[in-house]
């Protein structure tokens, strides 16, 4: 691992941790935590499948125990998704879609840079930056739909044990 990649991963980890604590200060924290956990779960499953099928690999990793990009799947991507959901909380359907592009385009550009200029991520078997772009956009929209369904569901209370 060269120094640039090592420092990049450390910076992203620290940036992610600071961002996580910052975003959890906004209410409703329960919604944001649900989105964060849902997105981490979803992205780690998808990334694991893509890595096992050979579409994506991560030659340089901070945590060598994982085949996936731990920092991206469990921290940065869920954080970006929470920010996206905060921005679209009161938006109409068209704005929700358009704002997903505001998040997925920069993420795709950064991922493209990492793929072409570093050993942090490598695309194989026809995977491309465009594939990443629409996958990122779709998962943003899935998470937004998920929290919209949760918000619309009737409140149910668990009966207390007496």
- Each residue's pLDDT tens digit, 105-133: 999 999 999 999 999 999 998 899 999 99
Q: Residue 63's pLDDT band (boundaries 50, 70, 90)?
A: confident
Lowest mean pLDDT among 19-33, 35-49, 83-97: 19-33
Residue 154 has pLDDT above 90, yes or no: no
Q: How far apart are the first and last CA of the chain?
A: 59
Closest to 49 in 3D by CA, of 112, 119, 139, 111: 139
Regarding beta strands 56-57 and 122-123, do their DSSP bridges make them parallel or antiparallel, or are they unpaired?
A: antiparallel
Which residues, at least 6 apart from 36, have a Cβ–Cβ distance to it below 8 Å? 20, 78, 79, 81, 82
Q: Which residues sit opposite 57 in a β-bridge?
A: 122
**φ, ψ at 106 (rounded to 5°):** -60, -40
Q: What is the pTM of this model?
A: 0.87
């Amino acid at each position: 691992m060269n120094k640039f990649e090592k420092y990049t991963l450390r910076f992203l980890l620290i940036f992610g941790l600071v961002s996580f604590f910052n975003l959890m200060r906004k209410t409703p924290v329960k919604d944001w935590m649900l989105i964060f956990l849902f997105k981490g779960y979803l992205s780690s499953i998808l990334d694991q499948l893509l890595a096992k099928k050979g579409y994506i690999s991560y030659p340089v990793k901070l945590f060598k125990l994982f085949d996936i990009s731990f920092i991206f799947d469990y921290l940065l991507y869920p954080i970006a998704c929470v920010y996206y959901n905060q921005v679209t909380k009161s938006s109409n359907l068209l704005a929700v879609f358009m704002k997903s592009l505001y998040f997925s385009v920069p993420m795709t550009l950064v991922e493209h840079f990492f793929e072409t200029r570093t050993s942090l991520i490598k695309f194989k078997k026809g995977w491309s930056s465009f594939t990443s772009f629409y996958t990122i956009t779709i998962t943003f929209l899935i998470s937004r739909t998920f929290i919209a369904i949760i918000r619309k569901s009737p409140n149910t209370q668990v009966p207390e044990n007496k």
